[in-house]
Structure formats: structure tokens, C-alpha cells
Amino acid sequence: MGTIAYINFIGFINEFMKKWKVLYSEYLIKRPWLTARRDKLELPDGRIVPEYYLLEYPDWVNVIAITKDGQFVMEKQYRHAVGRINYELPCGVMEEGETPLEAARRELLEETGFGGGEWRELMTISPNPSSMTNMAHCFVAEGVEKIAGQHLDATEELEVHLMSRDEVLGLIRGNEMIQSLMIAPLLRFFMEGYRF
């Protein structure tokens, strides 16, 4: 199928796709870090889905932070759900009333003590569009520098590491970085040819 034919086909499909109708919703649990909802749905063709489960989270942010001398600001920490210590980008949860950029700046500063530089949003992605309601906002901060100490949350324990571009790519290749919401923006960043 040629490119034009494919685009026309997708346009045709999208024209006939419709949103699902929510007939009923109930919360199964509402806690600060876990909100689960069960919906009863009607599909566009009239079929009923009696139980569809969703997880509600606030939006998340992560930052590809690069120092003035081209080093990537990375974190190493334990993640209990997978029982592993891995490398990650500085990241966190947006607080109520914050813009994604404000949250990203705050998280970078709190977790690493780095700040300043020039910022831009790289992409916004969905952690899991079939069952999670939030989005992850991914930023690039160029020319950051150490301006403060860490101010970690009570349950946070992480190490800050400065790494070269090749070392970061090595983490991905070596499976030492497994968080898909961080690998996706890094790969886009590298594919688009940004070099420092």
C-alpha cells in the first residue's frame, strides 16, 4: 500500500471510529498513589462492556537534563514494583495547579540540585492509553548547572550521576534503564540528532 493510499485508509477508519459511551462509573479505591475505577461502557455498535477497569494518576514529568559541558544528569534508584535498581531520568508527579514545565523544573531541582538552562517540551506520551488516564510530559533542559542540594521526599533515595551521551545509550542497550516513559524521549532525542 502506498503512502497516500495508507493515509486515505487511516482517514477513512478514523471518520467512522467513535468514542465509547460511559453508562456508569464507580471508584474501587481512592488513595493518594492509587485510584482505580470501574466503568460500564456502551460500544458504538451497541454492545455493552459491563466491567472496564482504569487507573487514574496525575500527569507525570521527566527531564533530559544536560549540563553546559554536555553531561546528562541521570539518577540511580531502587524501584520496588520490579525489585530492581536502575538508572532513570529525573522525574516526578505534577502537583495540583502546576504547569508541566513548572513541575519538571521543580522535580529536577529537588531530586538533583540542578537547575537553570534553556527548556523545551520534547513530547507528551501516554503511559498506557488502554487503562491509565494520565500523560507524561517530557522536557529537554540544556545548559543546566548545580545550584542547590537535593531536597528528597521521605521515601526517595537516589544517587545522581553525570554521564556522557554514549554512556546513556549504553544504559539503554545494556538493559540498565528499563523505564519505557524515559527511554522513549531519550531515543527520540537521539534520533533527531541533538548533539552537545
* Cα 172 to Cα 21: distance, rounded to the nearest angstrom: 40
Q: How confident is the model at residue 151, as a pLDDT?
A: 77
pLDDT for the residue 131 = 95
Contact by Cβ (8 Å): 112, 74: no
Q: SS3 of 28, please?
A: strand
- Return the SS3 of 179: coil
Between the alpha carbon of residue 103 and those of residues 29, 58, 107, 154, the distances in Å are 26, 12, 6, 18
**Is 104:63 a contact under the CB 8 Å cutoff?**
yes
Please give the Cα distance from 160 to 115 (Å, whole number): 14
| pLDDT tens profile 57-79 | 999 999 999 999 999 999 999 99
pLDDT score at 196 = 45
Domains, the chain, in order of start with CATH, read 19-56 (no CATH), 60-191 (3.90.79.10)
Q: How does DSSP assign 35-95, residue by residue?
A: EEEEEEEE-TTS-EEEEEEEEE---EEEEEEEETTS-EEEEEEEETTTTEEEEE-SEEEPP
- pTM listed for this prediction: 0.86
Cα distance between residue 130 and residue 55, in whole Å: 10
Using 50 as the pLDDT threshold, list the residues of the chain that sit under it. 196
